[in-house]
């Protein structure tokens, strides 16, 4: 939500400056994301007059100007400026930038220069160069009475700070400048003006009885437009008024300036009026060109397959869930979200119908999500606009149209009725102390609630009537929150939770401890931790078999699927880092993946994903370029992490990848799983499939792994006391064995068999060589295994070592291996 300091002043009489307003907003729970002053970057630009204009001696399309920018710069001397603008002429006034000025729209700092051998100092500026619009066909023309030498921001009123406030979804009342002013007034930042005061320049007046905050109705002539609602569920109330004889010209300067300041593009007076009221009062409206309508307007459900060409130039196909505004021939408006191109106003419009309707938030949400269409109107209707403000909103819009565009108004037509039932809450002021820890006098609490628009009656127990614009307040705790934020969140005391005496017992579960160990082990292995969204797009989920969990109310269409794997997020992060010059990406993430498990039940599993892309390491003067990472790098990382969390790494079996579409993401022949038996998969690793790598915009080999942390068997409960470390008294004995095996035998199976040949004396076995070639049959391979033996209370004898060696050879023989001669 953006607005300017001057705009806020139309509703709030305050002595605070912009910094004070920003601090007060944050203190009451309306977080200020930024305050910018557009005038600051244009401080060096001056109102100037072109005194003389003549042809450039060396260029037909350039002129040589003599510019007077006032006495404060250049000692009052005139500036010589080479200019190519077609509208530059003697006697005109415009905006001048002297040498040394940074031009924001062009992105450079002006310096004296020679243009076609003629010196030029500074420049006369266009609207685009000042970032005040898109026009750049000519330089800015100012009125003849513009004071020469005046700083342009002061002349144009650009020294008006712009606030950018983050509005939480529950504060629909602050989606307009007036709602924010109301909150500030309640917090003591000033006095809230009545609507009649705020809109007095437009001709609005207070009722004859002088009721504060109200405006007098318009005395229309003739019947109102023909409107009705056939969809009370989606559009309970549809109010409208006709205005005939209008002239759709450019909106007044004050209105255009405010819209431009907050990033809105002025279009025409009729359109700008509706945009202004939407931002000023949080009340979206729509204006139809009456000449383009066929009969009356009706709010109804769309017919399946109906189409509408919206104002954004796109066509949308509708379904029966959606509320639309239509005439006798076709749909003109996606109700509460965006108007249609066919009935939009133009320069030739003379008669209009102003719509002020109430659309239910649920209906707006369903339509917006189904169409993937967002707008400023949708943001407000989806949160919930004030259902009691239809008449006043229509009156204000009509008055502004007549004041700016002329014309005469009809009577108002009111179809349906808005949901405006009064809600009351029994409120005990003592709840503020019990819930928030702040002791606020009951009278002060009642005053705070009244200043926010609530009606508070009673003494000990207050009967509080909730204003129509506070859809979010439904109970006593909500009223406590209102009191606390106005008093100040910084007044809430920091109270520690009670703690039992003695040493605190550990509260982390086994899975939490395992997750902590896995995260530390991955970081120790040299991997960088990533934290990605659990939501991904359908396109990112597709290579992983698609997503089983589809969100009904996603943040955006790009975050619609709950991730079936952690790898999409890591791949996207690798692509972003690679695009920014990262030579090597070594990352991991611990999180949950989501899928449909047994019996079609939703399931989620804790997983550690890791990814290695780019170069394996930095270039070295001895080794040269390191090259790309290999599947064995991923396997090494997986085994190191599994060992750190206590998994029985020595018992793991290497088996092919299969099941749940897993094989589709891995490179065939360069991937595998680590399992405890044929069914318990602890991890999968290897090179990713080239199609997957290409789909994520990466090049070269990319290796990855997924460790399924919740599949790791948990050890028995143990006491915090560790056994005393008792190192062996004798040194280990190592023996090497070379076996001939079929070339399709997994080396891990051979090593496991050797390690299990004598579980008492063999403490380790590892593969240290693989050879195929001369001396080895074509269908065989030589695998060399180092076996580590640990003697007990005495050294091994030769016979004992021979006996153990025989066991090793026998165990290897069961795997089809024979001792190489």
Q: Which residues are annotated as a binding site?
A: 472, 478, 481-482
Write the Ramachandran bin of 4: left for phi over 0, alpha for psi from -120 to 50, otherwise beta: beta
Q: Tokens representing 272? A: 């700008």
Ordered DSSP codes for 376-427: HHHHHHHH---TT-HHHHHHHHHHHHHHHH--EE---EEEE------EEEEE
Residue listed under structure tokens 């945009």: 275
Residues ≥6 apart with Cβ < 8 Å to 660: 545, 595
CA distance 785 to 781: 13
- The rounded radius of gyration (Å) of the Cα atoms in the chain is 38
Contact 686, 636 (CB under 8 A): no
Q: Tokens representing 400? A: 């502004």
Contact 333, 224 (CB under 8 A): no
Which three-class secondary structure state does DSSP give residue 444?
A: helix
Binding site for Mg(2+): which residues? Answer: 472, 478, 481-482
CB atoms within 10 A of CB 123: 26
Contact 450, 456 (CB under 8 A): yes
Residue listed under structure tokens 């597709």: 542
CA distance 569 to 534: 8
Contact 70, 150 (CB under 8 A): yes
CB atoms within 10 A of CB 533: 14
Contact 413, 225 (CB under 8 A): yes
Ordered DSSP codes for 727-738: --SS--EEEEEE
Contact 2, 162 (CB under 8 A): yes
CA distance 236 to 26: 36
3-state helix, strand, coil in the chain (%, to 5): 30, 25, 45
Ordered DSSP codes for 325-356: EE-SSSEEEETTTEEBSTT---TT--EEEEEE
Ordered DSSP codes for 476-541: HHHHHHHHHHHH-GGGS---PPP--SSSPPP---HHHHHHHHHHHHHHHTTPEE----SEE-HHHH
Residue listed under structure tokens 């994520």: 696
CA distance 622 to 240: 82
Pick from 68, 148, 82, 72: which is nearest to 110 by CA? 82
Phi, psi at 354, each rounded to 5°: -95, 120
Contact 267, 375 (CB under 8 A): no
Pick from 665, 662, 608, 610: which is nearest to 634 by CA? 610
CB atoms within 10 A of CB 394: 26
CA distance 103 to 109: 6
Alpha helices, H only, 230-360: 253-261, 269-281
CB atoms within 10 A of CB 539: 11
Axis-axis angle for helices 253-261, 269-281 (nearest 10): 60
CA distance 421 to 114: 73
Tell me how far CA of residue 566 lies from CA of 4, 538, 597, 703, in angstroms.
43, 14, 17, 14
CA distance 196 to 214: 6
């Amino acid at each position: 939500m953006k607005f300017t300091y001057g705009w806020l002043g139309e509703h709030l009489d305050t002595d605070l400056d912009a910094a004070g307003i920003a601090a007060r907003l944050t203190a009451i729970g309306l977080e200020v994301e930024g305050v910018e002053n557009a005038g600051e970057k244009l401080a060096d630009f001056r109102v100037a007059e072109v005194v003389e204009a003549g042809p450039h001696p060396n260029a037909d399309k350039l002129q040589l100007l003599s510019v007077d920018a006032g006495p404060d710069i250049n000692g009052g001397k005139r500036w010589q400026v080479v200019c190519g603008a077609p509208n530059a002429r003697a006697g005109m006034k415009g905006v001048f930038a002297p040498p040394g000025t940074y031009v924001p729209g062009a992105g450079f700092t002006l310096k004296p220069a020679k243009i076609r051998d003629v010196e030029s100092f500074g420049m006369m500026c266009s609207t685009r160069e000042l970032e005040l619009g898109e026009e750049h066909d000519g330089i800015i023309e100012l009125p003849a009475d513009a004071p020469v030498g005046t700083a342009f921001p002061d002349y144009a009123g650009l020294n008006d700070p712009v606030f950018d406030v983050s509005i939480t979804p529950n504060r629909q009342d602050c989606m307009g400048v007036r709602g924010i002013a109301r909150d500030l007034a309640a917090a003591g930042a000033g006095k809230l003006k009545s609507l009649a005061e705020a809109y007095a320049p437009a001709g609005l007046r207070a009722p004859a009885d002088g009721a504060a905050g109200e405006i007098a109705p318009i005395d229309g002539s003739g019947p109102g437009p023909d409107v009705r609602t056939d969809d009370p569920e989606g559009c309970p109330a549809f109010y409208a008024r006709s205005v005939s004889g209008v002239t759709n010209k450019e909106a007044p300067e004050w209105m255009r300036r405010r819209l431009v300041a907050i990033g809105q593009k002025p279009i025409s007076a009729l359109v700008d009026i509706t945009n202004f009221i939407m931002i000023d009062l949080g009340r979206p409206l729509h204006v139809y060109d009456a000449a383009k309508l066929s009969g009356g307007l009706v709010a109804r459900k769309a017919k399946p397959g109906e189409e509408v060409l919206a104002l954004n130039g796109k066509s949308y196909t509708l379904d029966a869930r959606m509320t639309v505004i239509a005439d006798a021939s076709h749909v003109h408006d996606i109700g509460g979200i965006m108007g249609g191109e066919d009935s939009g106003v133009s320069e030739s419009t003379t008669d209009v119908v102003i719509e002020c309707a109430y659309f239910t938030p649920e209906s707006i949400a369903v339509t917006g999500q189904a169409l993937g269409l967002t707008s400023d109107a949708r943001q407000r209707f989806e949160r919930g606009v004030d259902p009691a403000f239809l008449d006043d909103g229509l009156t204000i819009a009509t008055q502004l149209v007549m004041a700016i565009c002329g014309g005469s108004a009809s009577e108002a037509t009111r179809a349906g009725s808005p949901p405006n039932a009064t809600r009351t809450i029994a409120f005990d002021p003592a709840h503020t102390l019990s819930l928030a820890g702040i002791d606020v006098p009951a009278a002060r609490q009642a005053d705070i609630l009244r200043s926010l628009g609530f009606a508070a009656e009673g003494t000990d127990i207050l009967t509080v009537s909730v204003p129509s614009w506070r859809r979010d307040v439904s109970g006593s705790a909500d009223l406590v929150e209102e009191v606390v934020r106005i008093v100040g969140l910084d007044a809430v005391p920091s109270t520690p939770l009670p703690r039992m005496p003695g040493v605190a017992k550990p509260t982390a579960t086994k899975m939490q401890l395992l997750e902590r160990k896995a995260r530390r082990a991955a970081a120790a292995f040299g991997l960088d931790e990533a934290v990605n969204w659990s939501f991904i797009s359908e396109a990112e989920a597709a290579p992983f078999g698609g997503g089983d969990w589809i969100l009904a109310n996603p943040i955006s269409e790009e975050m619609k699927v709950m991730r079936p794997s952690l790898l999409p997020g890591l791949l996207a992060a690798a692509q972003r880092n690679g695009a920014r010059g990262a030579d090597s990406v070594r990352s991991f993430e611990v999180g949950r993946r989501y899928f449909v498990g047994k019996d079609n039940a939703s399931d989620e599993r804790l997983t550690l994903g890791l990814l290695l892309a780019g170069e394996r390491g930095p270039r070295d003067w001895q080794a040269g370029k390191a090259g790309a990472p290999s599947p064995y790098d991923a396997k090494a990382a997986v085994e190191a992490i599994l060992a750190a969390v206590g998994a029985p790494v020595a018992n793991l079996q290497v088996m092919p990848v299969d099941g749940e579409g897993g094989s589709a993401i891995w490179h065939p022949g360069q991937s595998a799983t680590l399992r405890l038996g044929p069914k318990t998969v602890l991890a999968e690793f290897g090179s990713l499939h080239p199609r997957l790598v290409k789909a994520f915009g990466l090049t070269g080999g990319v290796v990855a792994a997924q460790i399924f942390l919740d599949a790791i068997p948990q050890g028995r409960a143990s006491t915090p006391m560790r056994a005393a470390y008792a190192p062996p008294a004798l040194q280990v004995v190592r023996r090497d064995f070379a076996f001939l095996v079929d070339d399709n035998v997994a080396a891990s199976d051979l090593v496991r068999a050797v390690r299990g040949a004598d579980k008492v004396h063999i403490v380790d076995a590892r593969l240290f060589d693989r050879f195929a070639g001369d001396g080895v049959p074509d269908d065989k391979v030589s695998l060399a295994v180092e076996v580590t033996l640990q003697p007990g209370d005495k050294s091994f004898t030769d016979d004992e070592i021979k006996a153990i060696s025989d066991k090793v050879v026998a165990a290897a023989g069961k795997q089809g291996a024979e001792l190489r001669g």
